[in-house]
Structure formats: structure tokens, C-alpha cells
Amino acid sequence: MRLPGSTALLLVLATSLACGIGQVSQDPPPAPIGSLPNLSLTPGETFAGVTAEQVCTSGYAGRARNVLPEQYHQVYASYGIAYPEPAGSYELDHLVPLELGGDNSNRNLWPEPAAPAPGFHQKDELENYLHEAVCSGRLGLTDVQQGIATAWYALYREYLNP
């Protein structure tokens, strides 16, 4: 399933953060090369009909995980990266994380580098933050799914590394 259209507010927020609009002192630095997926290969996808109640149930992400070994080879090859990669240099990441209703399709997977920062460790921190925000009712699941799929780095800068 493709992600539903985002709200105008989220698009304005993500666009303004990504472009540095509203910054008084200086524009934020662009995301390091390699930190962002190729959106034509990895636009992000969610499980159809997934709800906040489901993703906020303990153990949901573990039960939803079903990435097949051949997907590692397919996704890495689509990005021109040899698999297996040197240990710790990449992780096959869900652009929209499982804990936020992302699915296991190749269109939601990409080889995310550890370095330069922010890499997969920092995105994992953002995923945890957003999951808690959805489960506490501070943020809506659909908005978060769309935001992380289109501008995860901007959300990281807003919430964890201003």
C-alpha cells in the first residue's frame, strides 16, 4: 500500500525544516550524502489499515517483521551496494519503521549507512521517539508515517538534534 496523502501542516513543516525556512541564525546543514534513501526505490510503504492501537501493542514490531533473506540481496543490489556489507557499516532499514506500521516490502527497505551521522543509529533514536509520541497521543500515526517517509532527516533535526 502506498502511504496516504499527508496533511498540509505536516508537508509545510517537513518542507520548511528541510529547506531551513524559519531559521534565524543559519540554515540547517543538508543531510549527509548516503543518509537518505533514493525515494524512487524506497518511497516508504505501510501495512494496509494499520492503526496506532496496533503499533502501540507490546511486541507488534517483532510479530510484523518478515524480511526474507533474498530481499537483502535485492535491495542492496538496487542501491549498487555489495551484500553482505562489512559488519556495522549498513543495516537494511525500514524507511517507515515497523513500530510505526511500515511494511516489509522492498519499497520500504534501504541499506542505511551507519556513517556519517546521522546514520542508522540516529534514525533508530528518532523511530523510538516518534513511536512514543504516537502511543502517547502527541502525534498522529498517519502524519508520522508520511513525515518519516518523506523527510526523516528534517524530523530528526526538529525533535532530536536542533
d(CA 45, CA 3): 6
Question: 98: closest CA among 130, 138, 143, 140?
Answer: 130
**Ramachandran class of 56: left when φ > 0, alpha when ψ lies in -120 to 50, beta otherwise:** alpha
pLDDT at 17 over 70: no
Residue 14: closest CA among 157, 107, 161, 147: 147
pLDDT attached to residue 93 = 96
Q: Return the closest-CA partner of residue 107 out of 159, 160, 71.
A: 71
pLDDT in tens, 31-43: 666 678 999 999 9
Q: What is the pLDDT of residues 42-90, one digit of tens each?
A: 999 999 999 999 999 999 999 999 999 999 999 999 999 999 999 999 9
Which residues partner with 45 through β-bridges? 2
Model's pTM, two decimal places? 0.81
Mean pLDDT (the chain, rounded): 85
Q: What is the pLDDT of residue 35?
A: 76
